[in-house]
Chain A
Amino acid sequence: MTALEHASSLTHSPQRVRLDRGTITSLLFGLLGVALIAGAAPAIDSTTRRFNLERPPNPAGIGFHPPTWIIAISVLYLVTAVLGFSPHAARRWAGLARVLSALSLVPLALVLSLALSDNPGTNVVNLFSQSFVLATPLALGATTGLWSERAGIINIGIEGTMLASAGVGYMTYALLGAASSTGWLWFSILISVMAGGLVASLHAVLSIRFGVNQIVSGVVINLFALGLTGFLRSEVIFRTGNTSGVSTSDVGLPLLSSIPVVGDQLFRGGPIYWMMYLVVFGTWLVMFRTPWGLRVRSCGENPHAAETLGINVLRIRYQSVILGGLIAGLAGAWFSMESQGGFEDNMTNAAGFIALAALIFGKWTPWGAFGGALLFGFSRALGTRLQFLGVEVSGFEIPSEFFQSLPFVVTLVVVAGAVGRSVGPAAAGMPFQKSR
């Protein structure tokens, strides 16, 4: 056998196609594609709809023809299915096709809903800017998880940390500063951040000092925060009479916010929203470009190796978990002092858990997690938008609860299907004991 024949016999050996997560996802997309082409495309109202770029009246916009879009997306799904089951080299494109298919679910939902409603158009720029804003607590929460888990401490208490700091922050505002200067608002935001750090230090002490199972500790924090803030709202905030207050005022980026049509919608937002970008960038910079960041990551991957190099693993873990908590505190302030002025029970509404999904989606990197947060922020904004559009299928109006569940459905599909295996820090969840 010559070398050439030898090589080709290796590459051309047919591989058995297995029914794993990837191929099943491809199959599902294929079935969806068939259903859309056969069922939806012919039946749908073919009147032109518009994607508007600004608010009414007379908004600028782009017209489109719903059946054409639906068929185009269906073809993508069919290609995904074919690639997923192709036995040869083409299979390496299957993963990319699955990701594209998953992302195209969003325009598909938008096109379908618009075609099924009475509205001739909807403002898509506003939809995008809403997505960015709603991604704020998710990106901050994912960054919290990033700091904690990169140092080796699993943190499912992000939800509780955010909720507790939202409550404590607003309580401070209600007690001290309601109706006076915005200086007190900023003081309360600071208290919120500190509260986040405090709750995180509880998690740190439980899981680092006492070696409590980190999942249990996180669950405890979530339950504790729910109870604590419920108590604070009814017994403290309610009694002050300041149940609603002012929220931070929007800031526009110079120059960018004066771009015609879209500038003011895309480049104007609250201060915590803008801080989110700084936090994500700063996290990336510190974690991947500084000595301390390198040490944090080493503690999450192989704490024993770090110890043999004279690194104080326990101290690094404390620092990193608490830093994450401060970030979660900022996210909490976003809920009660930027998104709205006031505190409601369970107002974080599972954002802390979706933030964890964004973290996994982003493979434990700051920008990846930010991308995940954006995706989930978008699905949340979309869910809200669809409620307003009033979508009807054969005269039956789809209930709003269906659209509220959209972010969770997207989370499930994205995390389970298209992303594939995402491997976190090797030592996350494992208590570390110093040699002595």
Chain B
Amino acid sequence: MANSVLEVDNVTKTFPGVVANEDVSLTLNEGEIHCLLGENGAGKSTLVNMVFGLYRPDRGTIRVRGQDAHFEDSGDAIARGIGMVHQHFQLIPVFTVAENIILGNEVTKGALLDLAAARRQIHALAERYGLAVDPDATVGDLSVGEQQRVELVKALFRDADILILDEPTAVLTPGEVDDFFGVVQSLTQQGKSIIFITHKLREVLAVADRITVLRAGRVVGSTTAEGTTQQSLANLMVGRDVVFQVEKTTAQPGAAAMQTRGLRVQDDRGLETVTGLDMEVRSGEIFGIAGVEGNGQRELVEAVCGMRPATGGRVEMLGRDTTDWNPRRVNELGVAHIPENRSKHGVVAQYSIADNLVLNRYSQTKFSRRGVRNTSAIDTEAAALMEQFDVRATGASAALSTLSGGNQQKVVVARELTGDLRILVVAQPTRGLDVGSIEFIHRQIIELRDRGAAVLLVSAELDEIMALSDRIGVMYRGRLAATVDAADATREELGLLMATGSSSATDREQQ
């Protein structure tokens, strides 16, 4: 029998009003990859944060190599050989790679930092584990994949032999994911033991030795990769039968509803991230934009919706030149926008649900008279929309911030999909949502398409793009590298386009 390096024994952790973990047990064997699977809010992060010393369990014990561990902070966990790569990277963008790696375990010569020695140690680690990092690069300039390697080196620099990887693949392209799996497997061959958190079933089956499924804070199943299927894992995770395939009929596209011609847009730092983009979205179709994040998708969406000025080119919607219109004017033309960053651009968290539901229509005569809000009309409308869009809340007057992420997103969807809609621009509509909410929101988008609206869908989830879109444009360095029919597209082809901007290696060399 394999040696267990980490045992979590009947651990319970409650936060005010929520039981995050209840009697959770888990054993990690030496040299294995143990997948922790569960929906958002199932308690995966809480569990590993306790193992890493950030939270303290209310009850139960954690043992590292057979010895009880009472961690006061993560420094204690690090000292016992535990390393963690957080879902949101815990890096300091303005520091160099070397500074990020040594922070907290500094290499010194006398009283001063010894960056030269640190550089040598980092090079040695990078070579040993096949993790290429440049110690002198500034972390903020690195790609997401590179930042992840920095996080891994950071853990290894502290001699971690138990590695916790919290949703490490959520931010990677399909190609990068394959490379990442290679790295993970080489780590286990060198004796590291890994807890791998994810909610992507494909990955679990590809990489795991053993699998533990959490639901609502409890362990609901434990199995090995050989002994299970995607469907049974999904059912276990959600607690009911899950339909994977989004059902939709063939699109009946009409005339072009939205076009861009040579569109150029700059990001916040003044770098041009949309570099002359031509695109056409027809009414009655869903046009999906795939691409690695940071290739200009965000700026494209914001420019189209009037939130960011174009530095060149044109945007036309419904036959009118809408370049640099303000968001309200765009909205009044019949364009709805479900933004990528819900809390920043989608809702006012302190307002009530009802007020959030009429944020785009509060000034219409239906909801206001002579500058005074008609609260009864707003409440009636809100009640109807909450019913129709299945928003689960204590009432329409509750603050929006009291809702779960999925229900907040439903509020945004309900608001934006109401009214005389001709175009929908939607970015990352299901990021961070559970399977149930995802199904619901996907159905709404397809229904809207069937009513003849043009839909521009931007998503980092390739599965989502492939499931919903009628045509797919792959965005690479600010332009569409290719536009393909969704029916003909393969994962591999799209993945290659996303990573290189070209669909085959030979094309790439010709450029």
Which residues of A are at the interface with B, using a C-beta cutoff of 8 A? Answer: 3, 10, 13, 15-16, 285, 289-291, 294-295, 297-298, 301-302, 304-312, 426, 435-436
Contact present for A308 and B52 (CB under 8 Å): yes
Q: Is the interface of A mostly helix, strand, loop or mixed?
A: helix
17 inter-chain pairs at a CB distance below 8 angstroms, sorted by A residue, are A3-B511, A13-B264, A16-B312, A290-B111, A291-B108, A294-B99, A298-B95, A301-B93, A304-B90, A306-B103, A307-B74, A308-B54, A309-B104, A310-B75, A310-B76, A312-B73, A426-B93
Q: How many A-B residue pairs have CB under 8 A?
A: 81
Q: CB-CB < 8 A to A302: which residues of B?
A: 90-93
Nearest 7 A/B pairs, CB to CB: A310-B75, A309-B104, A291-B106, A305-B90, A435-B54, A301-B92, A308-B90
**Does any Cβ of A come within 8 Å of B201's Cβ?**
no
User: Shortest distance in angstroms between A212's beta carbon and chain B's nearest beta carbon?
Assistant: 20
Q: Which residues of chain B are within 8 angstroms of A310 by Cβ–Cβ distance?
A: 53, 73-79, 104
Q: Are A290 and B112 in contact (CB under 8 A)?
A: yes
* Whole-angstrom CA separation of A311 from B158 in the bound complex: 14
Given contacts A291-B108, A307-B54, A307-B73, contact A298 B511 (CB under 8 A): no
Size of interface on B: residues with Cβ below 8 Å to A: 37
Pair A289/B78 contact, Cβ less than 8 Å: no
Is the C-beta of B412 less than 8 angstroms from some C-beta in chain A? Answer: no
Closest to B154 in A: A309
Assembled-state Cα–Cα distance A13/B311 (Å): 10
Interface string of B257-283 (1 = CB under 8 A from A): 000000010000000000110000000
Q: Mark B76-103, 1 if CB is under 8 A from A, else 0.
A: 1111000010100011111100010011
Interface flag for B56 (CB, 8 Å): yes
Other-chain residue from A10, A15, A309 in contact with B103 (beta carbon distance below 8 A): A309
A151 CB, min distance to chain B CBs, angstroms: 13
Distance in Å from the Cβ of A296 to the closest Cβ of chain B? Answer: 11
Question: Within residues 263 to 306 of chain B, which ones have a CB less than 8 A from any CB in chain A?
Answer: 264, 275-276
Q: Is the CB of A436 within 8 A of B55?
A: yes
Q: Which of B74, B103, B111 has the most CB of A within 10 A?
A: B103
Whether B113 pairs with A294 at a CB distance below 8 angstroms is: yes
Instruction: Tell me, in angstroms, the Cα distance from A426 to B91 when the chains sit together.
Output: 12
Q: What is the CB-to-nearest-CB distance from A366 to chain B, in angstroms, rounded to a whole number? A: 16
With both chains docked as a complex, state the minimum distance between the C-beta of A242 and any C-beta of chain B, in angstroms. 42
Q: Which residues of B contact A289 (CB under 8 A)?
A: 112-113
Q: Decide: A308 near B106, CB < 8 A? Known: A294-B113, A436-B55, A436-B56.
A: no
B residues less than 8 Å from A435 (CB atoms): 49, 54-55
Would B78 and A309 count as touching, CB distance under 8 A?
A: yes
Complex Cα distance, B450 from A112, in Å, reads 74
With a cutoff of 8 Å between Cβ atoms, the chain A residues found around residue B103 in the complex are 294-295, 298, 305-306, 309, 311
CB neighbours (8 Å) of B99 from chain A are: 294
Query: How far apart are B157's CB and chain A's nearest CB, in angstroms?
Result: 11
A residues near B108, Cβ cutoff 8 Å:
291
* Complex contact B90–A290 (CB within 8 A): no
Contact of B92 among A3, A285, A305, A307 (CB under 8 A): A305
